[in-house]
Structure 1
Amino acid sequence: MRALLRAAALVAATAATVVGATVEPATAAPASLFAKVVVIGVPGLTWDDVKASPELTALVDQAHVGSISVKTAGPHTCPIDGWSTISAGTRAWGNVPDQPCGDLPAVTDGKVAGWQTYVDRQAEHHTGAPIGRLGQTGYPICGFGPGAAIALAKTDGSVANWQPTFDPSRLAKTDCGDAIVDAGALPLREGRPEARQKVADLVAQARAAGGWVLLVGVSQEDVNARKQTLVAMQLPPDNGTRWLTSDSTRRPGLIQLTDLTATILKGRTPATVTPAGSDETAPLDGSAIHFTGKLHTDAATVIEDRLDANQRYEQPRPTLFFVALTIVGAEVLALIWFLASRSPASRHAAIFTLLVQGGFYIAVFLAQAAVWWRWPAPGFSLYAVTIGISVLSAVLAQALLKQYAYFGLAVATYLLLLVDGVLGTPMQLGSMYADGPVIGGRFYGFGNSTFAALGVGALVTAGWAAHRLLDKNKVQAAAAVLVVGGAAIIVDGKPGWGTDFGGILALMPAVLLMAWLTWRGTLSLRALIAVGLASVLAVMAVAYLDYLRPLDQRTHFGTFFARMLEGDVDDVFIRKLQMAVMFFSGPAGWAMLIAVLLCVFATVFPDRVPSQAYRDFYRSSPMVRPTLLALSVCGIVGMLLNDAGVALPAIMGGFAVPILVAHLLASHQPATVSRESHLVQES
């Protein structure tokens, strides 16, 4: 027991040391540029609009540029959602679900009409978004247009220092420290060129006021609009034209909507940012905008780069369906052939297709190295590259490791993701397993799907390492589990690497459980409680150490710990629970749950599984049971504590089960073959 606690303390201390390391920020804009910020928001402004407008194209060579993710709390980002998010500094929910976007509310008698409706909507959907925060700061910000009224309204909906139309002369007044301008949503069809010209004219007028202008898309123009990352430009640039970024995305050329609020509040005193009456416990989701990278001087090249980037962000999820359909379809056909004929050829085909599915967990990340989004037909290119790498991975694993090909695929995934994490997760952006900018999930680090792949790779690799050492020394074998699993925990959890709080919550108990079973062989209730307690203490120690850092240096580890101390985590838990429960709105979620429970059943009660090959495999090594139990614990804990819900263990099963079945088919010879071999030997 004490050894288990010491092991947990060692893993936690190492992780905490790494978590405490600072992350290099991008180059920040000089503080003098924040003397006046003029945000011009244009719902629906795309890089296709910039390409179609000579005036907007000309601005590219005069600006830091990038794309902006406009995902908010609701399923659609209508103008009301975008402006409400700027008001709150966190993702807000403005539009009524399953309804068109509709007009923005009017300002009547100095108040936004129906303001309380939008306040109540945040509580209804548990967003935790304190709309009215930006207006409540007391800092002199002037607004123009209906969207600016929403962004600058106080917590009671009242609006001051606001005009319905843009007046450039006001920007020079002392009561206009910063400004927000609603340029109006671009029409979907007729009148769009004229609207683009209006935007270019607004930029020219605002630039004359000094400071700098931030031209951004703030939402989609309509619920049926094609979702993509929109335009972001900062004029004039400082130190040459470069790429916009922020610490909330850590990606050159990419910012998010909540960064606008953080940028406006950059350099303001804490008293003006969180005055009495505002929600001081709700942190800003965004970070002040920076610039980074090499100079760019060719507008046409920059625009094409942004259009290519949109392909990179949009294509992966739709393509995932066709990749999965191809691989699963091939597996089903091969297994039907095998069950019908039991021939050697059909067996080899079934084994190979199962290994191809295991290879997919390598291909889904390694495909980014092909830069497929710059190829002709990006969607098909991604499909072809992913299938090709999946097949090649299966061929190499089978050729080099024969019946142990399953282990090669697992360890390759483990090592690939460790390297990716240490390098800052370059293989995640544009991956089919990353919730990219359009979806508004993770901009950096490991998401739930990636963690599922890492969890399987780490635990299988740890089990194999312990298997090789178990006969020599049980302590060394248990230490190998802690080293292999601990490396995955550190890479998965370190800010700037995996940055995955939920992942270490699931992986820590799985690793400690496997280490305990490797060392002692049996599991008592007391030991199980100790594993759970040690895991919680280790994770909380990491979060607490992050909480001790200055506010502007904390990651979501420390932010969550602060909210927990203040009793402000209800909305977080409710939102995550709602997302997890959403999987059960259709038959797919229930099917995944049944499959997960069957896998856990096979792990706990192997003798009841109607497969002699599986029962033989379960008894073939003392490390099989600890490895399978660790996989089950990781999946179940991940399902209960992450917003991915049942999808997380289902993805783990989608990796582990096919390679295990492939191993069983490769290693278990049919009885007829065994009898024939026996007769040959007798003769």
Structure 2
Amino acid sequence: MNLSGLRRWVARALIAGVTTVLTVTGTAAAQPVGPDAKAVVIGVAGLTWADVKGSPELTALVNQSNVASMSVKTAGPNTCPIDGWLTISAGSRAWGNVPDQPCGDLPAVAEGKIQGWQTYVDRQAEHHTGAPLGRLGASRDGVCGFGPGAAIAVAKPDGSVANWSPEFNATRLADCRDAFIDAGVLPPREGRSEALLQLADLVSKARAAGGWVLLTGVSQETVDSHKQTLAALQLPPDNGARWLTSDSTHRPGLIQLADITATVLRGQAADVDPAGEAKAGPLGGSEIDSTGDVHTDAAAVIADRLGANQRFEQPRLVLKWVAATLAVALALALGWFLIRRSSVWARRTAIFVLLTQGGFFIAVFLATATVWWRWPSPGIALYAVTIAISVAAAALSMLFLKRYAYIGLAAAAYLLLLIDGLLGTPMQLGSMFVDGPVFGGRFYGFGNSTFATLAVGALIVAGWVAQKLIDRSRVQAALAVLVVGGVAIVVDGTPGWGTDFGGILGLTPAVLLMAWLTWRGSSSWRALLGVAVGAVVAVSGVAYLDYLRPPEKRSHFGAFVARVFEGDVTDVLVRKLQAALAVFHSPAGWVLLVAVILLMLATVLPDRVPSASYRRFYHSEPMVRPTLIAMTVCGLAGSLLNDVGVIVAGIMAGFAVPMLIAHLMDVRQPATVLPESHLVQES
């Protein structure tokens, strides 16, 4: 054994001895701790669950810890160490690094101040993050910092730093109320094992000071590192080792950086004025809590977290391959049909591929039921099951519903998402339509893509049911629209279910207008104004009721109302506007906009559409027009009121248009002879 190996062996033995003593003897560090106990946060850039697995010392801590994956997405496109520590300082997502530049060194502390602090303050204003830098330092007395990153975390709003040391000092730690320790950046390859060994030693020393310790990744290692959720271990547990969660994620085993600040402040920052001028906005996170069953198998916990990383990372990557596959198949099928119009097989193949595109909007959610991330090759598994479910959905709908297959696909999507919403949206995390924790997307509830899918399904189903009733009674048909659409609105918008503020803003006026058109057959400016007012009142009422709940229990609705009342809503609106306009940074965005506008015009000016089969279809049954107009209104409102802009209407069209074309291709005779079940068709 060489000298380096001997040192490592001795260090491991000492750490193992300390861990054993802390576990067996029942010292203060090993006893359950109350919510007001000292908090010691040890942050390290790039700490992954693979590191925990590769370090015997960290693995040994798992069974003594509440555990989670840490989402380190901040306001900027990348999370460098400066971004992570600034986010902890502000208690909400902050922007630290300069885009398209590598992660630099953390700023130094000179004469008691963070160098270049004003640059970071200005950067928050430039990017409208609304992050109040220095909130943690201004809100909590007696917080100590050790290391350059910790200096940023505990700095005051003016960048001044007190109770700070450039290196860890165990003696000083004992006198701190709470503490943040910067454990540096893990080396990419060589020296990583030694760094993990030193990290385990640091945890042991921090535990000896009493209270509880949170060891967590706070950022990616470099600006171009492979993104994944990082590791977080909180010890000792207060009631057995369990999964960590928070009200900001609603997901056992998942927390985010801003939750750290909320936990250390323990709700004390709500009325703090860190800048001395205006109140800081609501915290971007919630207090960390433990939930679920007790875990006692470190290997199983680590395997679960590594599998979760696959669940978070793969969907966006695989989506591109699935989309490319469907696009190629569609191009080939339509090309064959255009060449061989008289061929029955060419027609049937084109129809089948078009319906497979519709089936994709079912598969994208149902695929999560296969727990593909636990398969030997997760990416390949996700691709395979998504294609298989899409094909199966198309085949079954064609087999049982023939030319009305689109109704089956729409109803399946509608019912599937209603069930998912009622169950707390378990099918969302890991689906291709959710950015997830790696990219900082929605942690719970329905996102924009899910809303678009639900809206198409709900409006088609509402139109189909209304068509069945309209000859008997227009009032009954209108009530059916309100019931079917209303259920979708309730599930989509209820906090704890869909929790989708922007979604109900788009779907509510569409359902109300569709019900009016079903009842009266035509509209007027007075009716349109009434629909708009009714939608605003309904949405505002839901948001205000959510605002009345305790701050830590509010969803996006209540948090938005709180920002409005506090005069802190400008940055939020600007960020959403910027995000909505970002789609036009590429030619594809403009192409999408033109396509959406043309589709919307086709629903209000059907006689101008150069397709005889579409014109016959539009006028074939009473509920076709209200359904298409309702989808147009929903797509328009959803695009204007959501932060992805025209993409909402684009996704609605991606679901509806292929099914419409498939239906029109399958209609061999004038649409007037079709049975009334023909109903609704999408745009």
Same fold (TM over 0.5): yes
Find the residue that maps to 2:184 and give its secondary structure. Answer: coil
> Aligned in 2, Cα 1:279/1:430: closer, same or farther, shift over 3 Å?
farther
Give the aligned residue type for 2:322. Answer: V
User: Over residues 454-485 of structure 1, what are the superposed CA-to-partner deviations in whole Å (9 max), with x where a residue is unaligned?
Assistant: 01001111111111111111111111111011
Are positions 1:89 and 2:129 aligned together?
no
Give the aligned residue type for 2:229. Answer: T
Alpha-carbon separation, structure 2, partners of 1:355 and 1:309: 32
Q: Give the conservation status (yes or no) of the 8 Å contact 2:42–2:213.
A: yes
Q: Give the conservation status (yes or no) of the 8 Å contact 1:33–1:211.
A: no
Are positions 1:514 and 2:522 aligned together?
no
Corresponding residue number in structure 2 for 1:328: 327
Corresponding residue number in structure 1 for 2:480: 480
Alpha-carbon separation, structure 2, partners of 1:483 and 1:156: 55
Alpha-carbon separation, structure 2, partners of 1:197 and 1:101: 25
* Unaligned 5+ runs, structure 1: 1-28, 672-683
Alpha-carbon separation, structure 2, partners of 1:155 and 1:546: 31
User: Over residues 535-568 of structure 1, what are the superposed CA-to-partner deviations in whole Å (9 max), with x where a residue is unaligned?
Assistant: 1121112112222233333222122112223332
Give the aligned residue type for 1:59. Answer: L
Alpha-carbon separation, structure 2, partners of 1:229 and 1:105: 25
| Deviation larger for 323-332 or 189-198 | 189-198
Kindly state the Cα deviation for residue 141 of structure 1 after the two structures are TM-superposed: 0.5
Q: How does 1:94-243 map to 2 (within 5 A)?
A: 94-173=96-175, 176-243=176-243
User: Over residues 288-313 of structure 1, what are the superposed CA-to-partner deviations in whole Å (9 max), with x where a residue is unaligned?
Assistant: 11111112111111111111110000
Alpha-carbon separation, structure 2, partners of 1:518 and 1:267: 50
Corresponding residue number in structure 2 for 1:502: 502
> Aligned in 2, Cα 1:30/1:537: closer, same or farther, shift over 3 Å?
farther
Q: Give the conservation status (yes or no) of the 8 Å contact 2:134–2:274.
A: no
Find the residue that maps to 2:149 and give its secondary structure. Answer: helix
User: Over residues 226-251 of structure 1, what are the superposed CA-to-partner deviations in whole Å (9 max), with x where a residue is unaligned?
Assistant: 10000000111122111111111111
Corresponding residue number in structure 2 for 1:21: none
Are positions 1:397 and 2:397 aligned together?
yes
Find the residue that maps to 1:129 and give its secondary structure. Answer: coil
Alpha-carbon separation, structure 2, partners of 1:323 and 1:382: 9
Corresponding residue number in structure 1 for 2:51: 49
Give the aligned residue type for 1:662. Answer: A
| Deviation larger for 592-601 or 550-559 | 550-559
Corresponding residue number in structure 1 for 2:535: 535
Alpha-carbon separation, structure 2, partners of 1:306 and 1:402: 44
> Aligned in 2, Cα 1:582/1:270: closer, same or farther, shift over 3 Å?
closer
Alpha-carbon separation, structure 2, partners of 1:107 and 1:278: 25
Alpha-carbon separation, structure 1, partners of 2:361 and 2:626: 23
Are positions 1:308 and 2:319 aligned together?
no
Q: Give the conservation status (yes or no) of the 8 Å contact 1:66–1:244.
A: yes
| Cα root mean square deviation, aligned | 1.5
User: Over residues 559-607 of structure 1, what are the superposed CA-to-partner deviations in whole Å (9 max), with x where a residue is unaligned?
Assistant: 2112223332111111011111110111111111111011101101111
Find the residue that maps to 1:184 and give its secondary structure. Answer: strand
Give the aligned residue type for 1:265. Answer: L
Q: How does 1:563-642 map to 2 (within 5 A)?
A: 563-642=563-642
User: Over residues 166-189 of structure 1, what are the superposed CA-to-partner deviations in whole Å (9 max), with x where a residue is unaligned?
Assistant: 01111221xx11100000011112
Corresponding residue number in structure 1 for 2:432: 432
Alpha-carbon separation, structure 2, partners of 1:250 and 1:207: 28
Q: Give the conservation status (yes or no) of the 8 Å contact 2:46–2:221.
A: yes
Find the residue that maps to 2:535 and give its secondary structure. Answer: helix
> Aligned in 2, Cα 1:399/1:270: closer, same or farther, shift over 3 Å?
closer
Q: Using the aligned pairs only, state the percent identity.
A: 69
Alpha-carbon separation, structure 1, partners of 2:171 and 2:160: 24
Give the aligned residue type for 1:102. Answer: G
Alpha-carbon separation, structure 1, partners of 2:198 and 2:554: 41
Give the aligned residue type for 2:66. Answer: H
Q: How does 1:333-348 map to 2 (within 5 A)?
A: 333-342=332-341, 343-348=343-348
Find the residue that maps to 1:250 and give its secondary structure. Answer: coil
Give the aligned residue type for 1:335. Answer: L
> Aligned in 2, Cα 1:102/1:493: closer, same or farther, shift over 3 Å?
same
Kindly state the Cα deviation for residue 530 of structure 1 after the two structures are TM-superposed: 1.4
User: Over residues 599-637 of structure 1, what are the superposed CA-to-partner deviations in whole Å (9 max), with x where a residue is unaligned?
Assistant: 101101111111111111101111101100000111111
Q: Give the conservation status (yes or no) of the 8 Å contact 1:50–1:56.
A: yes
How does the TM-score come out when normalised to structure 2?
0.92
Alpha-carbon separation, structure 1, partners of 2:140 and 2:525: 57
Alpha-carbon separation, structure 2, partners of 1:520 and 1:286: 47
| Deviation larger for 294-303 or 626-635 | 294-303
User: Over residues 193-249 of structure 1, what are the superposed CA-to-partner deviations in whole Å (9 max), with x where a residue is unaligned?
Assistant: 121111111100000011110000000010111100000001111221111111111
Kindly state the Cα deviation for residue 440 of structure 1 after the two structures are TM-superposed: 0.7
Q: Give the conservation status (yes or no) of the 8 Å contact 2:517–2:523.
A: yes
Name which of 54, 74, 77 aligns with 2:76: 74
Alpha-carbon separation, structure 2, partners of 1:96 and 1:279: 27
Find the residue that maps to 1:198 and give its secondary structure. Answer: helix
Kindly state the Cα deviation for residue 268 of structure 1 after the two structures are TM-superposed: 4.1
Kindly state the Cα deviation for residue 274 of structure 1 after the two structures are TM-superposed: 5.1
Alpha-carbon separation, structure 2, partners of 1:384 and 1:168: 53
Give the aligned residue type for 1:222. Answer: T
* Unaligned 5+ runs, structure 2: 1-30, 672-683
Alpha-carbon separation, structure 1, partners of 2:115 and 2:310: 39
Find the residue that maps to 2:213 and give its secondary structure. Answer: strand
Q: Give the conservation status (yes or no) of the 8 Å contact 1:31–1:267.
A: no
Alpha-carbon separation, structure 2, partners of 1:319 and 1:341: 33
Find the residue that maps to 1:259 and give its secondary structure. Answer: helix
> Aligned in 2, Cα 1:553/1:305: closer, same or farther, shift over 3 Å?
closer
Are positions 1:285 and 2:287 aligned together?
no
Alpha-carbon separation, structure 2, partners of 1:445 and 1:107: 42
User: Over residues 489-542 of structure 1, what are the superposed CA-to-partner deviations in whole Å (9 max), with x where a residue is unaligned?
Assistant: 110011110000000000011000100100111111111111111111211121
RCO higher in structure (CA 8 A, sep ≥6) = 1
Alpha-carbon separation, structure 1, partners of 2:144 and 2:498: 40
Question: Aligned pairs, how many?
Answer: 640
Q: Give the conservation status (yes or no) of the 8 Å contact 1:493–1:500.
A: yes
Are positions 1:489 and 2:489 aligned together?
yes
Give the aligned residue type for 1:488. Answer: A
Q: Give the conservation status (yes or no) of the 8 Å contact 2:86–2:95.
A: yes
Q: Give the conservation status (yes or no) of the 8 Å contact 1:404–1:663.
A: yes
Alpha-carbon separation, structure 2, partners of 1:31 and 1:624: 63
Alpha-carbon separation, structure 1, partners of 2:488 and 2:260: 35
Corresponding residue number in structure 2 for 1:318: 317
Find the residue that maps to 2:241 and give its secondary structure. Answer: coil
Kindly state the Cα deviation for residue 66 of structure 1 after the two structures are TM-superposed: 1.1
Q: Give the conservation status (yes or no) of the 8 Å contact 2:146–2:166.
A: yes
Alpha-carbon separation, structure 1, partners of 2:47 and 2:277: 32
Alpha-carbon separation, structure 2, partners of 1:266 and 1:549: 17
Q: Give the conservation status (yes or no) of the 8 Å contact 1:136–1:278.
A: no
Q: Give the conservation status (yes or no) of the 8 Å contact 2:274–2:280.
A: no
Alpha-carbon separation, structure 1, partners of 2:490 and 2:231: 36
Q: Give the conservation status (yes or no) of the 8 Å contact 1:133–1:278.
A: no
Are positions 1:455 and 2:455 aligned together?
yes
Find the residue that maps to 2:42 and give its secondary structure. Answer: strand
Corresponding residue number in structure 2 for 1:9: none
